[in-house]
Structure 1
Amino acid sequence: MAAAESLLRERSFRELTVDEVMRRTDLSRPSFYVYFKDRHALILRVVEHLRGELRTMSQRWYTGAGDGPALAREAMEGIVEVYARQGPVLRALADAATDDPEVELVYGGLVQSFIDVTTHHIEAEIEAGRVLPLDASETATALVWMMERYLNRSLGRLPAETPRETVAETLTTIWTRVLYGAA
């Protein structure tokens, strides 16, 4: 998995081969198939731990109480930090989802899980009077997919196209203005 992650920092998923991964290990090519069905299965395993990192960072806003814009800023900075370190690997998962139905299902589920918790939190913020009434589900869908694309484009390649501080500030501004009307 470390070999695959290293390669994904250098090139896209489409360019990744089992032979290349195994050349970076002390194992033979047949050993790969003891652990993984194919390279898509490898990618899913590599990014599984990243799901937890992203959830931990986003929960700063989802589970926090108090100043919504400040909590959103803290969550965005944390998510951007994960992407700054792991962007190429996360982009590889997004790329793999375009040509593998199994990866697409898992990736879609990952994104949907963020949409679901965002919807729930927006509804709670509306109920608490901190967010004006809006369609929480559609707003969450638009914000999460926008963020996913922006993060992949901005931080999904090395070197990053946009400084992480700019990415975090841009996302924070969009989320807080849409939800809280913050200036």
Structure 2
Amino acid sequence: MLDGRSHGLEARVFDAVERLLADGHRFEDLGVQRIASEAGVARSTFYVHFRDRSDLLVRLAERVTEPAFTAISRWVDAGTDGVEGLERTLVVVVAAVRAHLPVLHALSEAALRDPAVDELWSSRIDGLAAALQLRLLDERNLGELPSDVDPELLAQNVAWSLERNVARHVRRMRAADPVADARFATGLADATWRSLYGRVATV
């Protein structure tokens, strides 16, 4: 278990990487020495806490995406929180993604070259899909979904659709616009509800 000092040092490294990415540096061009210098730590100290740059990026991505995954997981787990709850959740997810867009862009680029990084993001989305699959399976067993619905396939399609659509929206509109974000959340929530239940949501 890490003590408070270790957590503080790792947070300094994470913050340093975010600053460098926000300033326009590409992650693939950032060497360990540059990152360590920005964070004010020794290169040797960096390797005490991180195996390599890929390990750093994976853990940073986990940190910055936690609010978004927590929000959507709560909606999945709630079960009874319908389309309006999904709309509210997607507004939170969009804001969380936008707040750390340079990190997520670096993650996307790194995933094309590094299987370990690609596995991280895939496992996060697949984990969300697995939770949604359990909800859909319960709903099918209760007769709330048609008996021929495949919960696994439907959950995978919905989880990856949410990820792609949110990422596309944020990249197209990097500056926060509450009206546009709310309109997007409403539209995506409605489309997701139709995909899940084959009908327009009733509120």
Structure 2: state its 5+ residue gaps: 1-13
Q: Return the alpha-carbon distance in structure 2 between the equivalents of residues 86 and 54 of structure 1.
A: 11
Q: List aligned pairs for 1:1-183, cutoff 5 A.
A: 1-11=14-24, 12-133=26-147, 134-156=149-171, 159-160=174-175, 163-180=180-197, 181-182=199-200
Q: Return the alpha-carbon distance in structure 1 between the equivalents of residues 70 and 22 of structure 2.
A: 23
Relative to structure 1, the CA distance from residue 25 to residue 67 in structure 2 (aligned partners, 3 Å threshold; closer, same or farther) is closer
Relative to structure 1, the CA distance from residue 149 to residue 67 in structure 2 (aligned partners, 3 Å threshold; closer, same or farther) is closer
Which residue does the alignment assign to 2:4? none
Relative to structure 1, the CA distance from residue 51 to residue 85 in structure 2 (aligned partners, 3 Å threshold; closer, same or farther) is closer
Taking every aligned residue pair, what percent have the same amino acid on both sides? Answer: 27
Q: Over the residues paired in the alignment, what is the CA RMSD in angstroms?
A: 2.7
CA positional deviation for 1:41: 0.9
Q: Return the alpha-carbon distance in structure 2 between the equivalents of residues 160 and 53 of structure 1.
A: 19
Structure 1: state its 5+ residue gaps: none
CA positional deviation for 1:168: 2.0
Max Rg structure: 2
Relative to structure 1, the CA distance from residue 26 to residue 34 in structure 2 (aligned partners, 3 Å threshold; closer, same or farther) is same
CA positional deviation for 1:61: 1.8
Q: Give the count of matched residue pairs.
A: 183
Relative to structure 1, the CA distance from residue 135 to residue 160 in structure 2 (aligned partners, 3 Å threshold; closer, same or farther) is farther
CA positional deviation for 1:77: 2.3
Between 110-119 and 89-98, the greater mean CA deviation after superposition: 89-98
Would you say the 8 A contact 1:91–1:152 is kept in 2?
Answer: no
CA positional deviation for 1:113: 0.4
- Give, as a single letter, the amino acid of the residue that structure 1 aligns with 2:67: E
Q: Return the alpha-carbon distance in structure 2 between the equivalents of residues 108 and 170 of structure 1.
A: 25
Would you say the 8 A contact 2:111–2:118 is kept in 1?
Answer: yes
Would you say the 8 A contact 1:91–1:156 is kept in 2?
Answer: no
CA positional deviation for 1:84: 2.3
Relative to structure 1, the CA distance from residue 84 to residue 52 in structure 2 (aligned partners, 3 Å threshold; closer, same or farther) is same
Q: Return the alpha-carbon distance in structure 2 between the equivalents of residues 128 and 71 of structure 1.
A: 21
CA positional deviation for 1:156: 4.9
CA positional deviation for 1:96: 1.9
CA-to-aligned-CA distance 1:19-53 (integer Å, 9 cap, x gap): 43233222233432232222111111212223532
